Amino acid sequence: MREAFEPLVFTKEGEELDLPDFDYQILRLTEKFLDDYPVQNYPELMGKRGRGYSCLLIQTYYDYFICIPYRTEIKHKYAYHFKNSKRSKEHCSGLDYTKMIIIKNPQYISNTDAVIDRDEYKETRHGIYKIVKDALSFLEDYIMYHTGKKILDKREYEKRYRYSSLKYFHNELGIN
């Protein structure tokens, strides 16, 4: 198993991606997750009771799952922005890396598929390698910064991670 802070190596744009083996599924988080991570204690999480938390769940050879939520409005660049979906024509919809969740407890993952727009599903499948590459890069930079293996300018760090939910998952990420 790869150490969580060992950097991934990606090739240049246009070349074949050097990604770890991964699997993905579009699922929802359970009520247990919402119970264990109430929004009043974890304000950067987006869970609301009665409203599905649909996410792209990525499994690599880490000992955790990476959950990237689908959002209707994303106003920053740290996301995969849909370009061809009906919703993206009216909103800035996509998958938001800043709100990714790290999951070790399988009870947090619903065994029922999430319902998302068909065109966003197609766009997710079509862009899956870019999504995984960008999400893992976003996560790796965060881990490496917090383990002292990468230096980021303070302003750049704030831009990327100020409102990130990753701060709630240091134990899962092996960050002390």
User: What is the C-alpha separation between 101 and 45, in angstroms, rounded?
Assistant: 8
What is residue 54's predicted lDDT score, i.e. its pLDDT? 87
pLDDT band, residue 18 (cuts 50/70/90): low
- Fold (topology level) of 23-173: Thiol Ester Dehydrase; Chain A (3.10.129)
What is residue 60's predicted lDDT score, i.e. its pLDDT? 78
Residue 174, burial from CB neighbour count under 10 angstroms (0-12, 13-18, 19+): middle
- CA 20 → CA 16, 97, 139, distances in Å? 12, 18, 14
Between CA 173 and CA 55, with CA 58 as vertex, the angle to 5 degrees is: 100
User: What is the C-alpha separation between 148 and 146, in angstroms, rounded?
Assistant: 5
Dump pLDDT digits (tens) for 46-99: 766 555 678 999 987 678 999 999 988 899 999 999 987 777 777 888 999 999
60, 136 Cβ separation under 8 angstroms: yes
The total of other beta-carbon atoms located within 10 Å of residue 128's CB is: 16
Dump pLDDT digits (tens) for 114-172: 888 888 899 999 999 999 999 999 999 999 999 989 888 999 999 999 999 999 999 99
pTM of the full structure = 0.84
